[in-house]
Structure 1
Amino acid sequence: MKLMNQLTQQLRALDEQDLTRKRRTVDTPCGPRVTVDGRELLAFCSNDYLGLANHPRLKLALQEGAAIHGVGSGASHMISGHGRAHAMLEERLAEFVGGHLESARALTFCTGYMANLAIITGLTAADREAEIFSESLNHASLIDGARLSRARVRVYPHADLEKLGAMLEASNAATKLVVTDSVFSMDGDLAPLPELLALCEQHGAWLVIDDAHGFGVLGDHGRGALEHFNLRSPNLVYMGTLGKAAGVGGAFVAAHETVIETLIQKARPYIFTTATPPALAHALLTSIELIEGQEGIKRRAHLGALVAQLDDGQVGLKLHRWQRLPSTTAIQPILIGDNAETMRAGAALYEQGLWVGTIRPPTVAPGTSRLRVTLSAGHSSMEVARLIAALNVLALERTSDESR
């Protein structure tokens, strides 16, 4: 069959370039120590940054939520699916991050992907002349949201404030959105958010922040990039995910109440989808309590110590030809470059019982394939030391092989 042959050829081409993606089935709860196909592994590849995904209090809260609210929501939020648990969670989230936003209100979504699509398409829906200024390293959901909006999209180089400023200065659009990740998911570095906000205020633009990898982790109380940089402005539109550091699932948008009402009325990804199970919203109330409280403070401090361990001059990473990208976050990329070598490195670590993500195009640019190490507050310093030792030996072996 011709159509099937086309797909087969496409799949074969991916395999020949070492770009085939493969799933592994995990038999245990999310955490640093998992079992995959009967084999015990130490995982450095999840986004469970605070180690809350299997927290006893969250499991009890989810059980309680199901007992109170049932399982499914049954409809979209606009029909009958907006339950009391959803309303309580939105109020709590608005309170949690609202100190950095004027007249704050929050809106919950099934995923961060949907939230980003909703923000960008919702804010540009009434203005076909709108312009979007998108960071070159933005997440796929922000890129796709910009494409779906049908607005004019202009991409500025990574963290290039001068270039962005010139673009904004030249724009005559009435509706302007500057869209950026806060923590770049494949590089681990932080966007220059204070400077970006200043440009947006100067040029009358919205600053849309995807804080998927910052919410719960950044800031003294885990309020994310807004707290970390002490940002406050009516121009801010903030998206945080609830399935990474928060340990459960879903996402939310927080902004001025007028922005949120606009999304309710205009954002198709919100209007035309079934609401999340209310039990998840109920459990997330406990998650926010953990993030904000003493346990969250201790977990963030421990996570910071693990990141610092990688830098230790005596026992830290010494990668020779490989390059660890500059990052102070839980995301610690190790740039290798070649697809095949990246896959060999990942396989060698896996054989030693260490599960590290192997990232290749199109997720990253060609020639920049990498290992993506993600640390969690659930890891111990001894486990991180084991990873460091394995990486140092592996990098040295690769260098020695090439010198022969």
Structure 2
Amino acid sequence: MQDAWSTYLAERAAMQRHSGRWRHRSARRIGDGIRDFAGNDYLGLARDPRLAEAQAEGARRYGAGARASHLVSGHLEVHEALEQSLAALTGRPASLLFSTGYMANLGTLQALCDADTRVFQDRLNHASLIDGARLAGARSRRFHHGDLRDLERLLARAPDDGRRLVVSDGVFSMDGDVADIEGLAATSARHGAWLMVDDAHGLGVLGEQGDGRVGRAHGIERVPVLVGTLGKALGSAGAFVAGSETLIEHLIQFARPYVYTTAQPPGVAAATLKALELLKAEPERRDRLRALIRCFRGEATTLGLPLAASSTPIQPLVLGNSPRVMAWAAWLAERGLAVGAIREPTVPPGQARLRITLSAAHTDADLDALLEALADCQARDALTVRETDKEMGREASP
């Protein structure tokens, strides 16, 4: 039996390597001189010393860990305070903490859906949303990305024999574009469906108060189920679901990833409370981020880089194929710049890209270094193509 497993693991590893999809990790040391354009610390809060001190103080007061699940003895006053603050930020009556965004989506879909539920998802939704519907056994259809007419068609054709749930990201993590919440809400309402939005990449960044793509602008009547994460713009870790008290109580009773998981470390909750305080007190972080986005897009357009249509901190450069993406990422790494090299199956075939993310913590010098390096990548790429053509006896046209 062990030999069969060893063979299986070796075969899968070989297939992954052969396809050019092999993933690897590299351990970084803080202060190693790398300019990070790959992370999701959009407001620069992750390394703010005030969050670190709040986390340390929370650990000193409550302990390093919560010691039990929320429903046993792990739900502490700091968790309660954080849930109340997140509900207030998003304009909802209540919220519920989860240990990760993946768990929040799995738990919510598992608790809301079953074989009698019809789920309609945007094709580019995060993997956790797709997996959640599958694990729930729901009958799922996926509509074309951002295509309300296709969603309307699917809803109209579906038998009216049970509950319906429309699910979308608020900001799409690989493209950086934003969902049409108004359109999704109106379409869902016409067909008696609830709308669930995962606003992981919008929370803290978008909205007048950093309340996200959904937040207060789209209340509980339009978006009954709102998911947000704490490990991106808020700089800490974990996630939450916000909605009606009835919804939250339902999740407390039936969301298995919530019921059977040790509660979030109290120091992390304390750090997140500090992040929410800074989100309100320092709107200039969002102003700085918006300025960087405008500058980057303007300069990248001048360079002729293959920009995607994104007004968020996620700025993809779609290069097409995996070898080209990996070559650009390696050239950038040579200059001390970390970017996300995104390949299949995370994105569709032919859509491999550099996923560049901007942060309010980036300096003008950081941005200049990135743009200079990208221009160099473009020049090296063109040279590589010409040399390849010559080697194959196909001199490139002038």
Residue in 2 aligned with 1:54?
47
- Does the CA-based 8 Å contact 1:17-1:339 persist in structure 2? no
Residue type of the alignment partner of 1:49: Y
Residue type of the alignment partner of 1:80: S
Residue in 2 aligned with 1:4?
6
Q: 1:43 aligns with which of 30, 36, 40?
A: 36
Q: SS in structure 2 opposite 1:285?
A: helix
Residue 362 of structure 1 deviates from its aligned partner by 1.2
Residue 17 of structure 1 deviates from its aligned partner by 2.2
Residue in 1 aligned with 2:210?
222
| 1:401 matches 2:387 | no
Residue in 2 aligned with 1:373?
356
| 1:249 matches 2:237 | yes
Residue in 1 aligned with 2:295?
309
Residue type of the alignment partner of 2:121: S
| 1:133 matches 2:135 | no
Residue in 2 aligned with 1:107?
96
Residue type of the alignment partner of 1:248: S
Q: SS in structure 2 opposite 1:306?
A: helix
Q: 1:280 aligns with which of 252, 263, 268?
A: 268
Q: SS in structure 1 opposite 2:214?
A: helix
Residue type of the alignment partner of 1:93: L
Inter-partner Cα distance in structure 2 for 1:283 and 1:132: 35
Residue in 2 aligned with 1:116?
105
Residue in 1 aligned with 2:21?
19
Residue in 2 aligned with 1:199?
187
Runs ≥4 in structure 1, deviation > 4 angstroms?
317-320
Residue type of the alignment partner of 1:362: P
Residue 173 to residue 246, structure 1, CA distance change in 2 (3 Å):
farther
Q: SS in structure 2 opposite 1:71?
A: coil
| 1:86 matches 2:86 | no
Residue type of the alignment partner of 1:107: L
Inter-partner Cα distance in structure 2 for 1:9 and 1:317: 43
Question: Structure 1, unaligned stretches of length 5 or more?
Answer: 29-33
Inter-partner Cα distance in structure 1 for 2:161 and 2:48: 47
Residue 283 of structure 1 deviates from its aligned partner by 1.7
Residue 191 to residue 157, structure 1, CA distance change in 2 (3 Å):
same
Note the 1:261-340 alignment, pairs <5 A.
261-293=249-281, 295=282, 297-312=283-298, 315-318=299-302, 320=304, 323-340=306-323
Residue 319 of structure 1 deviates from its aligned partner by 5.2
Residue 201 of structure 1 deviates from its aligned partner by 1.7
Residue 318 of structure 1 deviates from its aligned partner by 4.5
TM-score normalised over the length of structure 2: 0.93
- Does the CA-based 8 Å contact 1:213-1:245 persist in structure 2? yes
- Does the CA-based 8 Å contact 2:322-2:343 persist in structure 1? yes
TM-score normalised over the length of structure 1: 0.92
Q: SS in structure 2 opposite 1:24?
A: coil
Inter-partner Cα distance in structure 2 for 1:401 and 1:77: 56
- Does the CA-based 8 Å contact 1:41-1:355 persist in structure 2? yes
Inter-partner Cα distance in structure 1 for 2:273 and 2:11: 48
Q: SS in structure 2 opposite 1:225?
A: coil
**Residues 16-56 of structure 1 deviation map (CA, whole Å, 9 limit, x = unaligned):** 2221111011221xxxxx42xxxx21110010000000111
Residue in 1 aligned with 2:389?
none
Inter-partner Cα distance in structure 2 for 1:115 and 1:329: 23
**Residues 148-191 of structure 1 deviation map (CA, whole Å, 9 limit, x = unaligned):** 11010011010110110122223314311111101100000001
